[in-house]
Amino acid sequence: MEATTPLQDARDEFIAGWGTLGSSWGINRTMAQIHAFLLTSTRPLSTDEIMEALQISRGNAHGNIRELVGWTLIRSVIKKGERKEFFEAEKDVWKIACTIARERKRREIEPALEILKSCSDQTKDLKDKESKAFHAQMTELRDFVSLSGRALESAAKTEQSKILKVAARFIS
């Protein structure tokens, strides 16, 4: 039986919870767990350390690490004298949020806009009542999604302090 410390316990809870959470965000569980693990590490870690800690195979670790690098949520670090790669997570919460916002915009909002634009355009000259209703619905949706995307983009460009001010006004 392994002895556990309060820190280990809390960290394990975070890793497990973040993994579950990730699933409902369309992010795979292992990827979220690796992210959580690196996020709570005080030093860069190797693939083997990650495999060992999360009890996952090399292939699984490798692929999900690459995904996280692709999202720029983690980056690879080369230690002098060491041949292998180490990985560390971005720790700044605001930067993480901006990265995720941008990535989701690119992967979800932009494709959605393409579809809505196409649906709106295809029906813009039709005269019957049903077509007009459809066209109006698509146009409204497109405008809304487009606005949301632009707002997200702007927010991700703005300094954290400014966003906090606006947010504070809303909440109060």
Please tell me whether residue 11 binds a copy of itself under the rule CB under 8 A. yes
- The least CB distance from residue 24 to a copy of itself, in Å, is 5
CA distance 17 to 21: 6
Per CB under 7 A, 47 contacts DNA: yes
Q: Is 114 exposed, middle or buried (0-12, 13-18, 19+ CB in 10 A)?
A: exposed
Contact map string, positions 18 to 57, toward a copy of itself, x by CB under 8 A: x-xx-xxxx------------xx-x---------------
Residue 150 lies near a copy of itself (rule: CB under 8 A): yes
Residue 65 CB-density burial (10 A; 0-12 exposed, 13-18 middle, 19+ buried): buried
| Contact pattern from residue 87 through residue 106 relative to a copy of itself, giving x for each residue in contact according to CB under 8 A and a dash for the rest | ----x-xx--x---------
Pair of tokens at residue 17: 């919870």
| Alpha-carbon gap, residue 16 to 163, rounded angstroms | 30
What residue spans of the chain are helical by DSSP H?
A: 6-24, 29-39, 47-54, 58-70, 93-104, 110-122, 129-157, 160-171
| Dist. CA 48–CA 58, nearest whole Å | 8
Among the listed ranges 50-58, 61-69, 70-78, 149-157, the one in contact with a copy of itself (CB under 8 A) is 149-157
Residues near a copy of itself (CB under 8 A): 6-7, 9-11, 13-14, 17-18, 20-21, 23-26, 39-40, 42, 91, 93-94, 97, 107-108, 111-112, 115-116, 118-119, 122-123, 126, 128-131, 133-134, 137-138, 140-141, 144, 147-148, 150-151, 154-155, 158, 164, 166-167, 170-171
